[in-house]
Structure 1
């Protein structure tokens, strides 16, 4: 019997937030991304494994993981 399993990673952009990059110091807006990782069985997502909110610097590409409270605060300020 053949069993095909693996991981599926999806990113959903949430918008731009005004943050300074911690790596390069670029003061411009960063993109806010919701990243999910799921276990797949026969190419069907079955079990969610990880869900993270990240801010990505457009200048250097560094990502920074945000807590849900911090992301909510930044999203409310951007709207």
Structure 2
């Protein structure tokens, strides 16, 4: 018996503050990449498709982007973080890693 299928993986690329096209509020938007991979015995092997989207955290509206648009927005988010003094990694909270 061979078990195969597909699974989707969501990656957060950046968080940007933009004016939402749907609700008109200046709110945080999550730039995400959704990758669908072929799995064999629950092991992801081959990427089948990649999609990029921008989702408003205020109203939940989601818009699809091309790879080029997503790359430009990710670069813009990184330069905004550098100029504002914020870390580029949103999971970093200003504490250096511990050396055990």
Q: Report TM bin, short chain.
A: 0.7 to 0.9
SS of corresponding position for 1:23:
coil
Q: Normalization by structure 2: what TM-score?
A: 0.67
Query: Is there any run of 5+ residues in structure 1 with no aligned partner, and where?
Result: none
Q: Supply the distance in 2 between the matched residues of 1:27 and 1:66 (Cα, whole angstroms).
A: 19
Q: Normalization by structure 1: what TM-score?
A: 0.82
- With 4-13 and 22-31 compared, the bigger mean Cα shift is at 22-31
Displacement of 1:64: 1.2
What does the per-residue CA deviation read over 1:47-77, in whole Å, with 9 as the maximum and x for residues that have no partner?
A: 2111111111111222211112212222222
Query: Relative contact order, CA 8 A, sep 6+: which one is greater?
Result: 1
2:10: which partner in 1? Answer: 11
Displacement of 1:36: 0.4
Query: Is there any run of 5+ residues in structure 2 with no aligned partner, and where?
Result: 79-100
What RMSD, in angstroms, separates the aligned Cα atoms of the two structures? 1.5
Q: Which has the larger radius of gyration?
A: 2
Name whichever structure is richer in strand by fraction.
Answer: 1
1:49: which partner in 2? Answer: 48
Contact 2:34–2:50 under 8 Å retained in 1? yes
Q: Supply the distance in 2 between the matched residues of 1:75 and 1:13 (Cα, whole angstroms).
A: 10
2:73: which partner in 1? Answer: 74
